[in-house]
Each structure stands twice: as C-alpha cells, then as structure tokens.
Amino acid sequence: MSDAADIEVVAPDGDLLLIVGDEKKMQKKLRVSSHTLSSTSPVFKAMFGPHFQEGQQLRGPSNRDPVEIPLPDDDPRAMVLVCHLLHGRQSPTEDEKLVYQMDIFEVALIIDKYRVVDVLHWQIRGVFSHWLFDLDEDGYTAFSFVSTVAAAYLLNCDDAYNRATACFINHCEDEITELVDLPDMINTMPAQVLREFYHRMVQRP
C-alpha cells in the first residue's frame, strides 16, 4: 500500500488507488470509487468487470486497502481533474487551478478515451469557458490555440472550436510552422482546418 501522504484523495472511502503516469516522468496516486467510475464510464465498467484482472481483484477477499490500478499511459494532472469532475467534487476554485496548470488537449484525450464526453457535457463547457473565453487572446501561443482547437473538436464543443480556430488563424500566422511538431493534435483536427492553416501560410507576403 502506498504512503497516505502521497495520495490525492478524490473519494475518502474509495476502493481503488489509480497509479497514473510514468514513474520516471510524473506520477499521481488517486483514491477513487470503482462504483462512481463504473457508473459514469463504460471503459471503466468493463475494466472493473469480472473478466479483467482489475475486476477480479475488486471481487477478491475482503481487504481494507484500496486495489491499486496502474494507468501508466495517462496524463496524471488531466486524470486528477477528470476524476474530480466524475466524482462531483464541489470545489470549483481548485478545479480552475488545475485547468490553468495543464494542457487542455490532455484532458480531452482522457475524456474521450474513457468515453465520458456525454456525462461531463456541462463541465466540459465550463472548462473551455475558463480556458478560452475568459483569457486575453494576446496571451496565447500557437500551441495554446491548436491545443484548444483539437480538444474542442474531439469533444464536440462547437463554440470553443469556432472561437479557437478563428483566433489561431487571425493571431498566430507566424507560428503556423509549429504545427509540424504537434502530430497528436494534428491527427485529431479536421482536414479543412489544416487546409485553411496551409492557405494562410502560403499567402503570407
């Protein structure tokens, strides 16, 4: 069992301990409820079912310690925010801090991967509102805009997608070449947006 001081408690009575991220880079340990995750995410529901090792551990002999579930491929900070949202934590100020500290595209990947887009519909709109609409456009970089475009497209958030796309095209033409260094985001974005970016680039004086 992990040291309690190293654990972020999302659900005090949770029966799971998610070990998120790569230990060599960044890792978070989250105490969560398998019932909450299973009832909100079909992916977690399958993972915690009787046909997977994780589910078999949960159904094993009674143990006071939470079952540890490694998720090495997921972004730790993004998973922290998503788990808090799924558990219905009433602490918007802390959630705002999490949003400002991370890449929103990583949050979108987690939400899409665990298929909780519909469950978190209104929370997603709130996250985009804080990330995009409440901030000064001049403070954004090409990476910030492209990250938001890709995330909004992945999560079907039309308002944020339209705003971020327009802002990127209007304010970041000189940084369009940075797109080649963002393959994960590029693969998420629709072809018509990439074509518009390309046309803007070739039309520059």
What global pTM score does this model have? 0.80
How far apart CA 107 and CA 95 sit, in angstroms, is 12
Question: Long-range CB contacts (< 8 A, 24+ apart) of 185-193?
Answer: 185/105, 185/146, 185/147, 185/149, 185/150, 186/150, 188/105, 188/150, 188/153, 188/154, 189/146, 189/149, 189/150, 189/153, 190/153, 193/149, 193/153, 193/165
* 3-state SS, residue 116: coil
Domains and CATH numbers, the chain: 1-89+96-102 (3.30.710), 107-204 (no CATH)
Is the predicted pLDDT of residue 65 greater than 70, yes or no? yes
Q: What is the pLDDT of residue 79?
A: 93
Band of pLDDT at residue 197, cut at 50, 70 and 90: low
Q: Is residue 59 within 8 Å of residue 94, measured between CB atoms?
A: no
Q: Is the pLDDT of residue 58 over 60?
A: yes
Containing 32, the helix (H) or strand (E) segment is strand 26-32
Question: Does residue 92 carry a pLDDT above 70?
Answer: no
**Reported confidence tier of residue 132, pLDDT bands at 50, 70, 90:** low
Sign of the dihedral defined by the CA atoms of residues 183, 186, 187, 188, in that order: positive
Q: For position 123, what pLDDT does the model report?
A: 84
Report DSSP state, residue 49. Answer: S
Mean pLDDT rounded to a whole number for the chain: 78
Share of the chain above pLDDT 90, in %: 28
Q: Give the C-alpha separation, 161 to 167, whole Å.
A: 10
Range 187-196 average pLDDT: 72
Highest mean pLDDT among 8-12, 56-60, 138-142: 8-12
**pLDDT tens digits, 142-166:** 677 778 888 888 898 888 888 877 7
pLDDT at 91: 56
CA gyration radius, the chain: 19
